[in-house]
């Protein structure tokens, strides 16, 4: 049951937990036999909060996903049952690539979302991935009936409409073949009347209040993580060397194994070997995961630095790919490390001397030399709107602009997903 406070903007800012704690609330959805058939995951800024007090719905949803998938564990939260996660309009218009197993995660569309073309396209994309779609708090007076075409589940608030109006709505929806879930079931009488009306799912305080789960985020060492990310850019490193590097970093080892054992990969058995995880994840995914965790450790720096670094990393990577580079990893690392002087508080030359970077990346960072340096210069020029210097190889301006727009979206998603 999603209350208004669980998803609406309020005047009270969300109060974050401590830097090492993450929180997610879970409320079960029952069937008519009083057995749990699914859970809804809800945002909580701290364990003492019983309401979400959301300022940014998009950010709140991404934090729920991040905490559930990377820290607490989706398997632990779901218990093998489907989980419902609210998607605000912003995430439907721009659907991120997130670690959500389609067979396990139901996407809930809030009642005030309109069936605009971009929203419909986003819902179709989620359905194509295999997600079921639920319309939350559906109401003929508020909701857009055009979205019923895409719904597998419809959740109805039972406390506000008169009994006759609710019965009429249930009768109209049943022929569509959607599953009907009653929300705000507060009493045994509510439950019995909803069963009689034909609801097959039930959620509310009569059944169970939301339960908040808490997990500790594993801390990381800044320098060791920086060295690890720098080392991953070395094309000559063998799997043995990469395995040793990751194994020496407790935080990175934890998150790599957490990722590979999540429901997203649905592996037949648990992976407890860093070597197996590296092979399954692949070097590109490993680089990006380690890069996100690396920058997450700089939580005493302005959040804008994280966003700018990730934007640069992604844009340099995209420029390299569009320019025909076989390995875009060095481009990603060049953009990522181009702001380390501001993050670490040391001159770039000194940082480069401390890290095991390839000569090409070092030259690009210190002197802007080589193809990596050209990609970084183009990225910096685009940031400053210095259009006379926005150029990379023979790429047309439209492709460079597309690379920048892609980088902005990707960096924002990355920041929201892991930087809390």
175 and 148 within one domain:
yes
Q: Would you state the pLDDT for residue 104? A: 86
Are 26 and 73 found together in one domain?
Answer: yes
Query: How far is CA 141 from each of CA 112, 161, 169, 265, rounded to the nearest angstrom?
Result: 10, 11, 11, 41
Tokens found for residue 285: 């995914």
β-bridge mates for residue 22, sequence order: 215
pLDDT of residue 192: 93
Helix (H, G, I), strand (E, B) or coil at 197: helix
Query: End of a domain among 184, 215, 246?
Result: 215
Could you say which of 151, 183, 215 is where a domain stops? 215
The residue out of 215, 237, 269 marking a domain boundary is 215
If we measure between CA atoms, which residue out of 113, 175, 106 comes closest to residue 143? 113
Residue ranges of the chain with per-residue pLDDT less than 50: 3-19, 218-220, 419-420
Q: Hey, what are 338's tokens?
A: 């181009």
User: Is 87 found in the same domain as 199?
Assistant: yes
- Both 339 and 270 in one domain: the answer is no
Confidence (pLDDT) at 404: 93
* Assigned token pair, 114: 């309109």
Residues 167 and 252 in one domain: no
- Other C-beta atoms within 10 Å of 116: how many? 14
The structure's pTM equals: 0.54
pLDDT of residue 243: 77
Evaluate whether 191 touches 217 at the Cβ level (below 8 Å): no
Other beta carbons within 10 angstroms of residue 325's beta carbon come to 16
Q: Report the pLDDT value the prediction gives residue 152, as an integer from 0 to 100.
A: 96
Helical residues (DSSP H) of 359-396, grouped into ranges: 359-367, 370-383
Nearest to 201 by CA among 3, 34, 7: 34
State how far the Cα of 137 lies from the Cα of 154, in Å rounded to an integer: 8
Read off the DSSP letter of residue 54: B
Residues 6+ apart with CB under 8 A from 206: 185, 186, 187, 188, 190, 191
186 plus 334 within the same structural domain: no
């Amino acid at each position: 049951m999603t209350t208004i406070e669980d998803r609406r903007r309020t005047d009270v800012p969300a109060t974050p937990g401590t830097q090492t704690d993450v929180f997610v609330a879970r409320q079960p959805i029952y069937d008519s036999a009083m057995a749990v058939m699914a859970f809804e995951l809800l945002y909580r800024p701290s364990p003492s909060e019983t309401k979400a007090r959301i300022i940014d719905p998009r950010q709140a949803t991404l934090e729920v996903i991040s905490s559930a998938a990377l820290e607490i564990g989706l398997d632990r939260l779901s218990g093998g049952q489907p989980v419902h996660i609210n998607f605000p309009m912003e995430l439907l218009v721009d659907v991120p690539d997130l670690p959500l197993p389609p067979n396990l995660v139901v996407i809930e569309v809030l009642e005030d979302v309109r069936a605009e073309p971009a929203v419909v396209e986003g819902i179709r994309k989620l359905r194509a991935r295999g997600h079921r779609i639920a319309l939350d708090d559906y109401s003929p007076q508020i909701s857009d009936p055009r979205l019923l075409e895409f719904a597998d589940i419809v959740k109805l608030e039972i406390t506000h409409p008169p009994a006759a109006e609710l019965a009429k709505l249930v009768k109209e929806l049943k022929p569509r073949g959607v599953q009907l879930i009653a929300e705000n079931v507060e009493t045994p009488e509510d439950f019995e009347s909803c069963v009689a009306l034909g609801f097959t799912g039930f959620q509310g305080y009569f059944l169970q209040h939301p339960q908040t789960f808490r997990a500790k985020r594993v801390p990381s060492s800044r320098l060791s993580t920086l060295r690890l990310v720098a080392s991953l850019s070395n094309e000559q490193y063998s799997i043995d060397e990469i395995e040793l590097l990751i194994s020496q970093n407790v935080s990175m080892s934890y998150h790599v194994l957490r990722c590979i054992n999540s429901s997203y990969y649905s592996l037949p058995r648990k992976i407890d070997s860093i070597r197996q995880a590296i092979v399954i994840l692949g070097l590109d995914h490993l680089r990006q995961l380690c890069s996100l965790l690396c920058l997450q450790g700089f939580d005493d720096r302005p959040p804008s630095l994280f966003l700018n670094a990730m934007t640069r990393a992604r844009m340099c990577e995209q420029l390299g790919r569009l320019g025909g580079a076989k390995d875009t990893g060095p481009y990603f690392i060049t953009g990522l490390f181009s702001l380390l002087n501001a993050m670490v508080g040391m001159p770039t030359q000194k940082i480069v001397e401390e890290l095991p970077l390839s000569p090409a990346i070092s030259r690009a960072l210190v002197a802007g030399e080589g193809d990596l340096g050209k990609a970084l210069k183009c990225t910096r020029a685009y940031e400053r709107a210095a259009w006379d210097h926005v150029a990379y190889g023979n790429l047309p301006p439209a492709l460079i602009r597309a690379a920048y727009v892609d980088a902005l979206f990707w960096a924002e998603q990355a920041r929201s997903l892991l930087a809390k």
